């Protein structure tokens, strides 16, 4: 084998190695799906008879999924994330707003979405219903039903205080 052949083989393996790494990074990037909920308050001015909806940022928010050890804490945020269950069609959460605790149940349909041969499939969701207790939360509304990679920057749920 000549030096020229050896150099060509090394270049070929380098090219294959670097292209496979970039695909892996792309797979990780595309697989992150989140359900976003904004927290709002509605005020009513009886003089002008106008309702105003504004974002609300509680001092602290803690989100814990039932059956999950991890807790996500937020400080002075008006948006929180809910990781939906990929196996069942129901996701239950304990949400603490400052010292007031509510439960949020999200009923959803799961779909397998094929990405590519290298990346495989990921699970996307369609939110059907959101139910909550009413200690801090007054009501909830679904604003975007689909939860997938193209809607991950959009707000799926509006929580009203």
Give me the domain span that covers residue 101. 33-160
Give dist(CA 64, CA 102) in Å, integer: 11
Q: Phi, psi at residue 125, to the nearest 5°?
A: -135, 160
Give dist(CA 67, CA 111) in Å, integer: 22
Q: Are residues 22 and 56 in the same domain?
A: no
DSSP β-bridge partners for residue 45: 50
Q: Are residues 127 and 68 in the same domain?
A: yes
Per-residue pLDDT tens, the chain, 161 aa: give them: 566 666 666 666 565 555 544 455 666 655 668 899 999 999 999 999 999 999 999 999 999 998 776 789 999 999 999 999 999 999 999 999 999 999 999 999 999 988 778 878 889 999 999 999 999 999 999 999 999 877 667 899 999 99
Q: Are residues 37 and 24 in the same domain?
A: no
């Amino acid at each position: 084998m000549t030096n020229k052949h050896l150099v060509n083989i090394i270049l070929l393996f380098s090219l294959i190695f670097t292209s496979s790494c970039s695909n892996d990074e792309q797979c990780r990037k595309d697989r992150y799906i989140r359900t976003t909920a904004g927290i709002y308050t509605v005020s009513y001015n009886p003089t002008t008879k106008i309702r105003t909806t504004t974002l609300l940022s509680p001092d602290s928010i803690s989100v814990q999924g039932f059956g999950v050890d991890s807790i996500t804490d937020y400080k002075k945020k008006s948006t929180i994330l809910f990781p939906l269950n990929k196996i069942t069609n129901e996701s239950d959460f304990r949400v603490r707003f400052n010292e007031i605790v509510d439960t949020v149940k999200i009923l959803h349909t799961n779909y397998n979405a094929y990405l590519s041969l290298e990346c495989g499939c990921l699970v996307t969701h369609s939110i059907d219903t959101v139910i909550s207790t009413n200690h801090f939360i007054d009501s909830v509304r679904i604003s975007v039903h689909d939860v997938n990679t193209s809607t991950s920057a959009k707000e799926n749920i509006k929580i009203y205080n």
